[in-house]
Amino acid sequence: MSAVAPKPEILAAFEAAKGFMPVDEGLALYAAAREAAALGLPLLEVGTYCGRSTVLLADAARGAGTVAVTVDHHRGSEEQQPGWEYHDPETVDPEVGLMDTLPSFRRTLHRAGLEDHVIAVVGRSPQVARVWGGKVGLVFVDGGHTDEHAAADYEGWAPHVAEGGLLVIHDVFPDPVDEFTGQAPYRVYLRALESGAFEEVSVTGSLRVLRRSGPGI
Ligand SMILES: C[S@@+](CC[C@H](N)C(=O)[O-])C[C@H]1O[C@@H](n2cnc3c(N)ncnc32)[C@H](O)[C@@H]1O
Residue ranges and CATH numbers for the domains of the chain are 8-212 (3.40.50.150)
- Is the pLDDT score of 52 beyond 70? yes
Tell me which H or E stretch contains 25: helix 23-37
Nearest-angstrom CA–CA distance, 28 and 146: 24
Indicate the range of 18-27, 61-70, 175-184 predicted with least confidence. Answer: 175-184
- Is the pLDDT score of 13 beyond 70? yes
Residue percentage of the chain with pLDDT more than 70 = 97
Task: Give catalytic status of residue 74 as yes or no.
Answer: no
Atom of ligand 1 nearest to the CA of 17: 9
pLDDT at 180: 63
Rounded to the nearest 10 degrees, how much is the dihedral formed by the CA atoms of 84, 88, 91, 92? 50
* Amino acid at position 183, single letter: Q
Q: Is the pTM of this model over 0.75?
A: yes
Beta strands (DSSP E) in 14-76 are 43-46, 68-72
Enumerate residues lining ligand 1, CB below 6 A. Answer: 19-21, 47-49, 52-53, 71-77, 101, 124-125, 142-144, 149
- Residue pair 28/200 in contact (Cβ under 8 Å)? The answer is no
* Amino acid at position 83, single letter: G
pLDDT at 212: 98
Atom of ligand 1 nearest to the CA of 52: 9
Indicate the range of 15-19, 63-67, 78-82, 111-115 predicted with least confidence. Answer: 78-82
Average pLDDT score over residue span 135-161: 97
Instruction: Pick the catalytic residue from 73, 145, 149, 170.
Output: 145
Q: Which of 130, 142, 181 to mutate to test the pocket of ligand 1 (most atoms within 8 A of CB)?
A: 142
